[in-house]
Amino acid sequence: MAVIKLQDIARSYKVGQVQVMALKKIDLNIEKGEFVSIMGPSGSGKSTLLNVIGCLDRPTAGTYELSGKRVEKLRDGVLADIRNQFIGFVFQRFHLLPRLNALENVQLPLIYRGLVGKERRNRAKKALEMVGLSDRIHHTPSQLSGGQQQRVAIARAISMEPAVILADEPTGSLDSGSSKNIMGVFNQLNREYGITIIQVTHDEEMTAYGDRVIRILDGEIEKIDVVNAS
Ligand SMILES: Nc1ncnc2c1ncn2[C@@H]1O[C@H](COP(=O)(O)OP(=O)(O)OP(=O)(O)O)[C@@H](O)[C@H]1O
Ligand SMILES: [Mg+2]
């Protein structure tokens, strides 16, 4: 079953007199449990596509079905609820709060969801365990390596139990060893927990961990490659 169905999606921006077609004619289905990479030159529309998929942005044309529900015309508040229910975000810059330790950072979204006390703490601990950081839960971001900080950010995303994780250049600021480690974490979350993963990457090597590579050029899908299982 396709968890994400994009049909004839377009997203344009008007800046002054100039109309930018950031996305045009995007048809794309992503199956539940897939691990997909999006690649393409700078300015080709990768982040725009990820923002539409993540309900952070609405398309200007076309239809979008997320988990069987049409979402392209929903109001902001409703869209935010859907986003909280289905989507976890991971960014190039980890967006952790510097004064909070790993356990507290992971608990933040759970506070907004209204979880309290032990349940919230346990859920955060489990998420940190899933990314292999059980021994670093009291460390603040500055006491963690870049790769470890990104793993905290991933734990924060999965603590909400999302069906889909969207990652915009998650290894963009990491060295190659840490990058492989992060891909290993995604791979495990994908295989063991069936979380659908969609990542934007500039690094061809990082696509090896996924099932397909969506290649974007000038706002259109140029080509889709299936990754050979090794
Ligand atoms: N808020 C905005 N207002 C106007 N134009 C925008 C806006 N966001 C993106 N664009 C334009 O849309 C196009 C696609 O941008 P997008 O950020 O999706 O590219 P990208 O593929 O993610 O690039 P990069 O690899 O550099 O991150 C670009 O031409 C950009 O200038
Ligand atoms: Mg981008």
Closest C-alpha residue for ligand 1 atom 14: 45
Strand duo 212-217 + 35-39: pairing: parallel
Whether 219 is covered by a domain: the verdict is yes
Q: Ligand 1 center to residue 77 CA distance, Å?
A: 24
Query: How much is the pLDDT for 20?
Result: 94
Q: Which atom of ligand 1 is nearest to the CA of 51?
A: 18
Whether 10 is covered by a domain: the verdict is no
Whether 199 is covered by a domain: the verdict is yes
Closest C-alpha residue for ligand 1 atom 16: 45
Domain that holds residue 184: 33-51+85-226
Q: Which atom of ligand 1 is nearest to the CA of 216?
A: 21
Query: How much is the pLDDT for 26?
Result: 98
Return the CATH number at 117: 3.40.50.300
Query: How much is the pLDDT for 230?
Result: 62
Q: Which atom of ligand 1 is nearest to the CA of 45?
A: 18
Residue-by-residue pLDDT tens, the chain, 230 positions: 899 999 999 999 999 999 999 999 999 999 999 999 999 999 999 999 999 999 999 999 999 999 999 999 999 999 999 999 999 999 999 899 999 999 999 999 999 888 999 999 999 999 999 999 999 999 999 999 999 999 999 999 999 989 999 999 999 999 999 999 999 999 999 999 999 999 999 999 999 999 999 999 999 999 999 998 76
Whether 154 is covered by a domain: the verdict is yes
Query: How much is the pLDDT for 1?
Result: 83
Q: Ligand 1 center to residue 35 CA distance, Å?
A: 23
Closest C-alpha residue for ligand 1 atom 3: 13
Whether 74 is covered by a domain: the verdict is no
- Please state the pTM of the whole predicted model: 0.94
Establish whether residue 45 lines the binding site of ligand 1, counting it when its CB lies within 6 angstroms of any ligand atom: yes
Whether 137 is covered by a domain: the verdict is yes
Q: Ligand 2 center to residue 122 CA distance, Å?
A: 34
Count of structural domains, the chain: 1
Q: Which 3-state string (H, E, C) describes the chain? A: CEEEEEEEEEEEEEECCEEEEEEEEEEEEEECCCEEEEECCCCCCHHHHHHHHCCCCCCCEEEEEECCEECCCCCHHHHHHHHHHHEEEEECCCCCCCCCCHHHHHHHHHHHCCCCHHHHHHHHHHHHHHCCCHHHCCCCHHHCCHHHHHHHHHHHHHCCCCCEEEEECCCCCCCHHHHHHHHHHHHHHHHHHCCEEEEECCCHHHHHHCCEEEEEECCEEEEEEECCCC
